[in-house]
Structures are given as C-alpha cells and as structure tokens.
C-alpha cells in the first residue's frame, strides 16, 4: 500500500490530487509568450527616440543653448546606445524592443556606415597636413620633429603663440623652404608661396590666412583657419556664437576664391555634421569622408571623441586621409593626400 501510494505521486497517469496542477501551467506559458511583446515598452520607446534624434538631428533647434550643434558634434556616439539597449532588450526577453532597435541601427548605419570601412586609394600628388599645436605645448621642438616626420608637402599650424613662432620656424626650415605666419596661424610649404594675406573672420585679430601654393601640378589656393573655441556651460549651453560668425565669414571668403583648386586646413572647432559650418561644408568636401579610414577623430589627443581638425577640398580629388599619432599638443595632426 505504501509503495502504491508513493508511486501515485510520481508516476501515476490516472486521476489524482496533483492532476489539476498541469492545466495551471499552461496559462503561465501563454502569458510568457504574450509577455515577449508586452515587456520592454520603455526600451522600445527609447529606441524610437534615438531614431528620431539620429534621423532628425538637423531639426533639433539651436535657439536654446545651441543644442542642435552640440548634438551634431557628438552624433556618431549615439550609436553606442544601440548595443546598450540591445542588452536590456535581451535581459527583458522583449521581442518588441528587439524589433524597435532595428530602427536606430539602420539609421546610424546609413549615416556613418560608410566611415567604418576604409576608402583610401593609392596615388596622390600632394600630401597636406594640419595641426593645432596648442599654445601651452611644452615640447614645440618635438612637435615640429613629428610634423617633419610626416613627410607632408604642405603644413598648416594653428594656435601658434608668439613666443614659440621662432622655435617652429627654426625647426621646420630644413624641411620647408617657404613659409608664412599670419597672427596665430602659419603655413609651411616645400613649394613657393605667393599672394599671402590674412583672412578676416570677424574676430578683431588674425586667425586665418590664404596663400597660392605653386605645386609641380599647378597652383593651389590654401586656406588656414582656426575658428573660435566652443564651450559647454550649464547656464549658457553650447556657446558657439562667435565660432558660427567666423565660420560664415570664412565661407564667404572661400566662395569668392578665384582659383579652381582650393584646400582648407585648420581647426574649425566643429564637425562636418554641425549645421553651423554649412557655409563652408556646402561648398567643400571632407577628405576624411571621401577617402578616410574610420571616423578620424582628432580631439582630445589622449582619447579622441570628435573630428574638429579638418582638411576640406574643392576642385581636387582626395585619395587618402588619416590621423597621426599624438604630439605634445592636445590635438592630433590630420593629413591627406590629394590628386591635382
């Protein structure tokens, strides 16, 4: 009797006191299947918001603290939210969130997927380089040697303090026969310079210049510029008004350039996504976007998060673009090869 009763608990298929427990499990399983769609609504909503920010970033207004420009400065980094939300969706076992995450993933790939794979090619007639050397650079001699080691044909330096100009001139003269310094920017070249003049970017002091460079493949108009810095402040937001005004002035100067082939080298304190630089970017191409490998972030040097040092071209074909190793500056140099 004892054995028969015990087997009823574990093995008996007939009616018994535990039989009603089986149907009780089925509603629970059905709830789980339905829960895959009910769970993760907040995660899905965040995925939709992320999609809207990526897709409609140009519609985010600048009226309040220049939030639109701030968003566009770090726009590629929004992609990091996708894997984070993916982990949450998997932990929640939410089919709704997983499907919603396809939206920001597709939009991000459409915007930046082309930067993931290298687009550089062999060739190029001239190598150009731009570097914000940092006024507080404690090793200008080492920075100058790094610039020479790049073997660039044309070099633009920004943020040149007056007390260090002679140091750079002395160090670079063996590699670059021709040079000109205008205010806090300078141009060094292996080819003759002419038509050198400062460019007024509405600051009251010189932070931009222009020159004709007589390359073996024809004349090239080279602009060097260092647009005003931007700051993020809790009480004022993204303070970029002065930068934006200077960008418009620089864009007007380049629009009036008579030479067909133009190169802009400089620290623009803004990315190619920033609408505030539209007066420049609407008429010139980024060498990084056309022929770069990766995003080409250049600032800050220790952990680059944005490409604010730019090489833009018009009337020439970029074949390669890259970022160099850190120097004594808080920016990394960027270089490009162009075909004339």
pLDDT at 237: 63
At 10, the pLDDT band (50, 70, 90 cuts) reads very low
What digits encode the pLDDT tens for the residues 38-72?
Answer: 789 999 999 999 999 999 999 999 888 788 999 99
What digits encode the pLDDT tens for the residues 94-150?
Answer: 999 999 999 999 999 999 998 888 788 888 999 999 999 999 999 999 999 999 999
**Whether pLDDT at 173 is above 70:** yes
- Per cent of the chain over pLDDT 90 is 79
Average pLDDT over residues 210-218: 97
Q: Looking at the DSSP assignment, which residues form a beta bridge with residue 313?
A: 263, 285
What digits encode the pLDDT tens for the residues 264-304?
Answer: 999 999 999 999 999 999 999 999 999 998 999 999 999 99
Q: CA-based angle 149:154:155, to the nearest 5?
A: 65
Query: Which residues lie closer than 8 Å to 303 by C-beta, 6 or more apart?
Result: none
CATH class of 126-339: alpha beta
pLDDT at 234: 59
pLDDT at 163: 97
Domain spans, the chain: 39-116, 126-339
Cα separations in angstroms, 195 against 192, 220, 282:
10, 11, 25
- Say which range, 6-10, 91-95, 160-164, 324-328, has the weakest mean pLDDT: 6-10
pLDDT at 9: 41
- CA 246 to chain CA centroid, Å, is 20
At 327, the pLDDT band (50, 70, 90 cuts) reads very high
Highest mean pLDDT among 4-18, 56-70, 189-203: 189-203
Average pLDDT over residues 79-105: 95
* 291, 123 contact by CB (below 8 A): no
pLDDT at 1: 42
pTM: 0.86
At 310, the pLDDT band (50, 70, 90 cuts) reads very high
Sheet with 334-339, side-by-side order of all strands: 178-182, 185-189, 154-158, 126-132, 334-339, 317-323
**Whether pLDDT at 33 is above 80:** no
**Whether pLDDT at 226 is above 50:** yes
């Amino acid at each position: 009797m004892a054995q028969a009763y015990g087997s009823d608990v574990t093995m008996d298929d007939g009616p018994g006191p535990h039989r009603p427990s089986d149907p009780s499990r089925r509603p629970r399983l059905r709830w789980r299947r339905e829960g895959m769609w009910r769970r993760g609504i907040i995660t899905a909503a965040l995925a939709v918001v992320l999609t809207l920010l990526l897709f409609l970033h140009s519609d985010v207004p600048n009226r309040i603290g220049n939030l639109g420009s701030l968003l566009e400065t770090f726009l590629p980094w929004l992609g990091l939210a996708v894997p984070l939300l993916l982990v949450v969706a998997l932990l929640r076992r939410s089919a709704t969130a997983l499907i919603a995450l396809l939206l920001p993933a597709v939009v991000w790939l459409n915007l930046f997927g082309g930067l993931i794979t290298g687009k550089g090619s062999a060739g190029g007639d001239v190598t150009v380089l731009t570097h914000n050397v940092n006024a507080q650079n404690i090793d200008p001699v080492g920075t100058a040697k790094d610039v020479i080691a790049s073997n660039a044909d044309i070099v633009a330096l920004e943020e040149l303090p007056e007390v260090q100009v002679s140091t750079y001139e002395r160090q670079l003269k063996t590699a670059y026969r021709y040079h000109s310094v205008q205010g806090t920017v300078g141009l060094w070249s292996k080819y003759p310079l002419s038509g050198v003049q400062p460019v007024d970017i509405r600051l009251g002091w010189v932070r931009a210049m222009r020159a004709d460079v007589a390359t073996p493949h024809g004349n090239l108009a080279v602009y060097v510029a260092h647009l005003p810095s931007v700051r993020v402040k809790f009480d004022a937001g993204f303070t970029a008004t002065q930068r934006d005004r200077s960008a418009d002035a620089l864009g007007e100067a380049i629009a009036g350039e008579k030479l067909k082939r133009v190169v802009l080298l400089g620290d623009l304190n803004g990315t190619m996504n920033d609408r505030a630089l539209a007066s420049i970017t609407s008429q010139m191409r980024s060498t990084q976007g056309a022929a770069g490998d990766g995003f080409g972030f250049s600032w800050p040097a220790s952990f680059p998060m944005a490409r604010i040092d730019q090489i833009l071209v018009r009337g020439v074909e970029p074949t390669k673009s890259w970022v160099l190793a850190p120097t004594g500056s808080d920016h990394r140099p960027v270089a490009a090869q162009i075909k004339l």
